Amino acid sequence: MGRTMLQKILERSSKGDVKAGNIIDVFVHARVSRDFGGANVVGNLESNGLEPTDPDRTFFTFDCNPTGSDQKYAANQHLCRLYARKKGIRVFDIDMGIGTHIAMDEGLVKPGEVFVSTDSHANIMGAIGAFGQGMGDVDIAKAFSDGSVWFKVPRSMKITLKGLPSSLATPKDVTLKLLQELGANGLLGYAVEMYGPYIESLPLHGRITMASMCTEMGGIIMLIPPDGRTLEEIGAKDMDISTLLPDRDASYDRELEIDIGGTEPMISLPGHPEDVVPVSRVRGTKIDSAFIGSCTNGRYEDLKAAANILKGRKVAPGVVLKIVPSTRKIWERCLEEGIIKDLMEAGALIGNAGCAGCAAGQIGQNGPGEITVSTGNRNYKGKQGKGSVYLASPETVAASAAAGYITTKDDIPPEPAVFTTMNGEESGEAPCIEEVPERPTVIRGRIWYIPRDNIDTDMIYHNSHLAVTDREEMARYAFGNLEGYEDFSARARKGDIIVVGKNFGAGSSRQQAVDCFVSLGIGMILAESFGSIYERNAINTGFPILTYRPEEGLFSEGDVVEVDISKGKARNLTKERDFDVEPFSDVQMDIYLRGGLLSNICRE
């Protein structure tokens, strides 16, 4: 039986049996920590007496707060700089841009290699045929110290796109079409390979857009086989990638064909990236602001497309257009070619290269009641501010900024809409732990029954608190952005068990979304399924999370349940009903019993 592209990539970097569901140890070619997770990575390394095994493959990228304008971010960034100086690690500082884009453009990772970062969109590497994975700070500390991490080999899916979109549609529109078709968890747990004439036609920036938003569909990674043009764009035109391509008889767990024929400009409604409609459905919606940038749409071609629309026009009165290039090199190219000049003459604000609106306090955030149309990849409630955020292509955003309301580039009015007037010191190395307190394999507790799907990490732990490094402080923010549970931390009791629906922990790679429950004393979490990064973060922290099969009437708020995490057996003691849970694997149980991935690591 032939092998998929995923299998070929992982076989290059591991010695295990690369079969879906197997746990393998994978060598990581490039290990990256960003500014919001960097201080915790350094803390994990130093508190456990660990050293980076290969500084030449280890990097810091400061892209969440590229101005150092927040005191906590600035402190974390400098802590990482000091550590990097001691250990000989390269820092791509606040002037360089988004770490994942730097990794591609600077050759830190090549097709067929493995990349990890404290960035949930590290799977953007699928755009060049590399395997990328977002991880929390415990995982990244392990990668820094050992050069490898464990992976559960994901299931493989092959998606073939049929037909061609309309002439007005861009790669972002096609990606939003996929989100509309697949939903927030349609790719959950899958590594996807993309094929079809449209995919083959895409230059690198379009592949980046599609691969980046795989995360919003729950996918592990979206792999796009690189072609000669892609290799030339990343400076690897002489590379032979034939051995990376899937065999003709490759076997996939699932195959889909999706018709994109005639796809028109699309847009995500506020609050949910997957809630996608044609732009025509919301045309005329007045906007307060617009944003072009993010890891999904901050490339040179994205900014050039926006400039072409805005050249000779002005941003509508009262509308703020914020633009953030992905990297410094893109910024410089746009400056040299006059693109920055055209955008600024139209009235746009051009910010430092970086992630921008995805990080609290940076360009792209909005205020209460503000309506924004954005090229970002997420519009979860509170993610990009307190207002409402629509997601669209750079062309739609630029056209809307000029019109003053949501529209497409072919329907910009001669005169823009206007607002009506309204009245009225260095840390030492800790010794290794010789003994670990015994941990229970049977857990009993009162449940919080929250039968909701797709509870994302911004609902669990809002990004405005990402600079917090004190785990005890994190407890007060647990579920602070989940409607109806804003006072959860005040009402929860030690030992309580949380029971939720599908895709719990979707979204960001933030470790805090696990740590807040640990510090609060929550006993465990039961879910129908978990977001892939969240699942690893919890397991690596030694926090028990298990999946269960839903049954009608199985749970009610306040029931007491008992779970044997080693046997996969559970019982609702209140209702006197037994139910099954998926037990920990041997690897996962070992991590749990040791108190976490980094616990009890003694070095000779």
Whose CA is closest to 581, among 524, 528, 514? 528
Evaluate whether 266-403 and 442-593 have a shared fold.
no
CB 521 within 8 A of CB 494: yes
Angle at CA of residue 118, ends 117 and 124, nearest 5°: 55
| pTM for the full predicted model | 0.85
How are strands ordered across the β-sheet holding 90-92? 90-92, 58-61, 30-34, 114-117, 131-134
Place of tokens 């994302």: 456
Residue 21 burial by CB count (10 A; 0-12/13-18/19+): exposed, middle or buried? Answer: exposed
pLDDT at position 66 is 83
Q: Which CATH architecture has domain 442-593?
A: Alpha-Beta Barrel (3.20)
CATH top-level class of 5-259: alpha beta
Could you tell me the residue ranges of all domains in the chain?
Answer: 5-259, 266-403, 442-593
Tell which CATH classification among 3.30.565.10, 3.40.190.10, 3.20.20.150, 3.30.499.10 matches the domain 266-403. 3.30.499.10
CB 161 within 8 A of CB 198: yes
Weakly modelled stretches of the chain, pLDDT under 50: 424-428, 603
CA–CA separation, 461 vs 505, rounded Å? 10
pLDDT at position 72 is 83
Q: Which residues of 396-414 are buried (b: 16+ CB within 10 A; e: fewer)?
A: bbbbbbbbbbbbbbeebee
Cα dihedral angle (576, 582, 587, 593), rounded to 10 degrees?
-20
CB 602 within 8 A of CB 552: no
CB 139 within 8 A of CB 540: yes
pLDDT at position 429 is 52
CB 545 within 8 A of CB 531: no
